Amino acid sequence: MSKTENQRVRASLIATVYNDVEGTQLFLQRMGEQTRKPDEIVILDAGSKDGTWEALQTYAALPGSIPMKLLQVNRCKPAPSRNIAAHEATYDILVVTDIGCDWQPQFFEELVAPFETQPDLEAVMGSWEVRWENQSTVWAQADPLLRNGLELRATPQSHAANRAIAYTKEFYLGLGGLPEDLSFACDDMALAFIIQAKGKHIAAAPVPRCVWFRPQTFQALSKEAFRNFKGAGEAGIWLGFFVRNVARFVAEWAAFCGLVLGLMLKWPPILNLIFFIVLLVMVAWRLRNWVPHWMTIRGRGGVATLGHVAVLDYTTRWSAVKGYWEGFVRGAATCALCRSKLRDCGKGWW
């Protein structure tokens, strides 16, 4: 990209959507409030039936609205949707976000500004946050991802997500875009590894300007864990999480079943003691994670109990393990390209 320092660059904002009319309306409102408005918005709709597509068309026809390119491809998954939008974007800088978030007025400006002062810049890692006041259910408050507070204050070495990142079109397309052979999730994490390995000039927007709305129900949180780790298994990353959790589940259930059988069948006391000690250690390890999170919830005025924390953490880990194994098996047959790219970056493990 050739430009002189402090030259104003033009940038396209790209996003995808499916059946989220409320999120789309908020997105259009917030983009109209930006301190620097996008030069163009490119949105690919995957075949919405709830009024989302009509809301986009209505906005695009308004006098004085931000110029828009609206694309619709039925049942198109998020990764190919973003890749199509990137190809169709007019401008050299691509800012990417997720409809279904919220954005402060400085969001677009702060992701684009580094490109104006650093002529060779390839990507800007964006920041994001989850706000406690948005956690409206006991399950959302117990969300394991919130254990240490959830935000990304990006550095150039961060692995930014699709909800807040920018790059040049040439750099993005040169990397092949988001991997399309994963079934649904983890494409942005795979791309982040590739960006960090291949990029030479990366900057960051360190202040969180994008607010991530987390799932609020037990079922949605478990489904998210399954999808995310299915994608990780397909891509061949996060193996350590899978191995550690499988080992813990096996140890816990072996100790529990062994203790119950030992007491019923009157096995030697020393054997029952071993089972009891192993089970006690595993429960203590779980409590070491659950209790501080529960105390944090109480300190924030939340109403989720220690039981909510324990149930959700255990079940989401179990969903993640199941998802990872399913992705591991599927990926061996269908995700060779993504795995090959990650191996080249030193991140793949087969």
Domain ranges of the chain: 11-217, 235-344
pTM over 0.85: yes
Q: Looking at residue 6, what is its pLDDT? A: 58
pLDDT at 2: 45
The model's pLDDT over 139-150, given as tens digits with 9 standing for 90+, comes to 999 999 999 888
Strand order of the sheet with strand 11-17? 68-72, 40-45, 11-17, 93-96, 165-168, 123-125, 202-204
Q: How confident is the model at residue 1 (pLDDT cuts 50, 70, 90)?
A: very low
Question: For 284, how many CA atoms within 13 A lie in the half-sphere containing its CB?
Answer: 6
CA dist list (Å): 262 to 170, 256, 270, 276, 282: 65, 10, 10, 10, 18
Q: What percent of the chain has pLDDT over 70?
A: 97
CA distance 328 to 336: 12
User: What is the average pLDDT score of the chain?
Assistant: 96
How does strand 202-204 pair with strand 165-168?
A: unpaired
**Averaged over 144-173, what is the pLDDT?**
95
Sign of CA dihedral 141, 165, 20, 30: positive
Q: Are strands 40-45 and 11-17 parallel, antiparallel or unpaired?
A: parallel
The sign of the CA dihedral 272, 275, 279, 281 is positive
Angle at 14 between CA 233 and CA 9, to 5 degrees: 125
Look-up: residue for tokens 């807040």? 164
Cβ neighbours for 143, distance < 8 A, ≥ 6 positions apart: 135, 150, 214, 215, 221, 312
Nearby residues of 60 by Cβ (< 8 Å), 6 or more positions away = 68, 70
Cβ atoms within 10 Å, residue 263: 12
Count of CB atoms situated within 10 Å of the CB of 26: 17
Assess whether pLDDT exceeds 70 at residue 350.
no
Residue-wise pLDDT tens digits, 233-286: 999 999 999 999 999 999 999 999 999 999 999 999 999 999 999 999 999 999
* Architecture of the structural domain at 11-217: Alpha-Beta Complex (3.90)
